[in-house]
């Protein structure tokens, strides 16, 4: 990192933020549309002299608190914030909590997949949203069972068919992926509580956690024993949303197969039992 790069970036970002965007009055004669140094200093809670020295490359090693305050004052995106930390020679701190926000664009995508079983999890594998066809396929979850890892180790059961080997592989992958998440969000108290409860209540989870493996829950092919339409063997793909750290799980059937026919029938009957 060169301090001149940091200074140039600060000046460029400052020029791009209007006073109105920053919640400041826009009155008076202004040579440029962006923020003045005095205004940036006010918004960031630092001295004008320090802002000047940063922009001129005369100040070195700003603290993480100063960089965070500047990023907030400049209304930077998450990528811009990370870049500012890197220019300052710092590692950007991760968010404190596991993200649980489903953006409007992701919601629109889910709406377009109404004929496909889709469920959205956060990075700790807690279910955030399931469309009606997923609920019809897998059933409805409540309480602790909304978390897929809890459900796998301590839940009351699932419609997914498992061999002992496939169940062990799934659980190992879930614990490894949860460990990765815990490393990214060490300050998330809900995540800490989930892990501590799983370790206390499941010896298998505790052993896997102690093993220290780090991995990812991958896509797979699953057979679901449905009480009304019979067995469906479906491809289960897991898509990770960059930036939001969400997992979108999508189930699809081979076109023209008996599984596709049964999935279509399930879409018609929904969560209602067959009658007659």
Q: Could you read off the pLDDT of 99-113 as tens digits, one per residue?
A: 888 887 888 888 899
Predicted local distance difference test score (pLDDT) of residue 275: 44
Q: What is the 3-state secondary structure (H, E, C) of 21-84?
A: CCCCCCCCCCCCCCCCHHHHHHHHCCCHHHHHHHHCCCCCCCCHHHHHHHHHHCCCCHHHHHHH
Angle at 274 between CA 268 and CA 275, to 5 degrees: 130
Which domains are seen in the chain, by residue range?
3-87 (1.10.260.40), 104-269 (3.30.450.180)
| Residue 150 near residue 194 (C-beta atoms within 8 A) | yes
Q: Which long-range contacts (CB under 8 A, 24 or more apart) does 10-14 make?
A: 10/40, 10/51, 10/54, 10/55, 10/70, 10/74, 11/55, 13/74, 13/76, 13/80, 13/84, 14/40, 14/74
Q: What is the pLDDT of residues 111-159, one digit of tens each?
A: 899 899 999 999 999 999 999 999 999 999 999 999 999 999 999 889 9
More confident residue, 151 or 92: 151
Task: From residue 137, give the alpha-carbon distance in Å to each of 30, 150, 174, 214, 230.
Answer: 61, 19, 21, 30, 11
Contacts of 173 (CB under 8 A, 6+ apart): 215, 216, 217, 218
Percent of the chain at pLDDT > 90 equals 61
Q: Using alpha carbons, select from 151, 216, 218, 127 the residue that is nearest to residue 180.
A: 216
Predicted local distance difference test score (pLDDT) of residue 88: 92
Angle at 173 between CA 141 and CA 171, to 5 degrees: 55
Predicted local distance difference test score (pLDDT) of residue 103: 81
Predicted local distance difference test score (pLDDT) of residue 1: 42
Predicted local distance difference test score (pLDDT) of residue 48: 95
Predicted local distance difference test score (pLDDT) of residue 114: 86
Q: What is the pLDDT of residues 19-77, one digit of tens each?
A: 877 767 766 666 667 899 999 999 888 999 999 999 998 987 899 889 988 988 898 87
Q: What is the pLDDT of residues 190-200, one digit of tens each?
A: 999 999 999 99
Contacts of 179 (CB under 8 A, 6+ apart): 209, 212, 213, 214, 215
**Strand order of the sheet with strand 246-252?**
127-130, 118-121, 246-252, 230-241, 220-226
Task: Determine the Cα–Cα distance for residues 3 and 104; give it in Å rounded to an integer.
Answer: 38
Predicted TM-score (pTM) of the model is 0.67
């Amino acid at each position: 990192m060169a301090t001149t790069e940091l200074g140039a970036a600060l000046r460029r970002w400052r020029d791009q933020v209007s006073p109105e965007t920053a919640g400041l009055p826009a009155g008076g004669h202004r040579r440029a549309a962006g923020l003045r140094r005095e205004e940036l200093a006010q918004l960031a809670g630092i001295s004008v002299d320090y802002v000047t020295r940063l922009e001129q490359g005369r100040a070195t090693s700003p603290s993480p608190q100063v960089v965070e305050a500047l990023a907030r004052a400049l209304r930077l995106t998450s990528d811009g914030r990370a870049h500012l930390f890197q220019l300052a020679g710092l590692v950007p701190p991760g968010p404190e909590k596991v993200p649980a926000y489903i953006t409007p664009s992701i919601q629109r995508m889910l709406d377009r997949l109404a004929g496909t079983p889709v469920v959205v999890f956060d990075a700790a594998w807690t279910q955030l949203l399931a469309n009606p066809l997923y609920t019809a396929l897998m059933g409805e979850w409540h309480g602790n069972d909304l978390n897929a890892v809890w459900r796998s180790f301590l839940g009351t059961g699932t419609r997914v068919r498992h061999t002992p080997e496939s169940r062990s592989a799934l659980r190992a992958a879930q614990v490894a992926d949860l460990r990765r998440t815990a490393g990214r969000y060490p300050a998330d108290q809900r995540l800490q509580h989930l892990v501590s409860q799983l370790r206390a209540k499941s010896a298998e989870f505790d052993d896997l956690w102690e093993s220290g493996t780090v991995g990812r829950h991958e896509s797979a092919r699953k057979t679901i024993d449905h009480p009304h339409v019979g067995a469906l063997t479906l491809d289960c793909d897991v898509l990770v949303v960059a930036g939001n750290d969400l997992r979108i799980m999508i189930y699809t059937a081979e076109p023209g197969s008996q599984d596709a026919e049964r999935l279509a029938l399930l879409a018609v009957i929904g969560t209602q039992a067959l009658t007659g």
